[in-house]
Amino acid sequence: MYIAISKQHHGENFSSSVRDFVNYLEKEQYFGLLQGSPGSESNLLTITNDGLVYSYILKYKDTISRLNYFISQAESIGYEKPKNKISEVKTSNSGKTEAQKSYYKKFCNYLLETKSKSIAVKRKKGVTLKLITTTYHKGEVYMKFEIRNNSEINFELDYLNVLIVNGNKKRKSSYQKLQQKVIYRYKISSCIKAKSLSRFIYVLPKFVLGKNEELQVEFQELNGSRSIVLKSKLRAR
Same domain, 15 and 129: no
For 177, phi then psi, to 5°, come to -135, 105
Give the DSSP per-residue string, 38-101. S---EEEEEE-TTSEEEEEEE---S--S--EEE--GGG--EESS----GGGGGGTTTTS-HHHH
Same domain, 184 and 97: yes
Walk along the chain (237 residues) and give the pLDDT tens digit of each residue. 445 444 444 444 444 444 444 444 445 566 666 666 777 666 666 777 677 777 777 777 878 777 777 777 777 776 655 444 443 344 356 567 888 889 999 999 999 999 888 999 999 999 999 999 999 998 899 999 999 999 999 999 999 999 999 876 666 656 788 999 999 999 999 999 999 999 999 999 998 888 888 999 999 999 898 999 999 986 545
Same domain, 226 and 164: yes
Of 45, 78, 111, which closes a domain? 78
**What is the C-alpha separation between 210 and 231, in angstroms, rounded?**
15
Residues 179 and 214 in one domain: yes
Judge whether 206 lies within some domain. yes
Any domain includes 202: yes
Q: How many domains does the chain have?
A: 2
Q: Domain range holding 61?
A: 2-78
User: Which residue, 28, 61, 78, sits at the end of a domain?
Assistant: 78
* 117 falls within a domain: yes
Closest to 142 (Cα-Cα) out of 102, 219, 202: 202
Assigned domain for 26 exists: yes
Kindly give the pairing relationship between strand 184-186 and strand 120-124: unpaired
Q: Are residues 100 and 167 in the same domain?
A: yes
Q: Which of 56, 78, 100 is the last residue of a domain?
A: 78
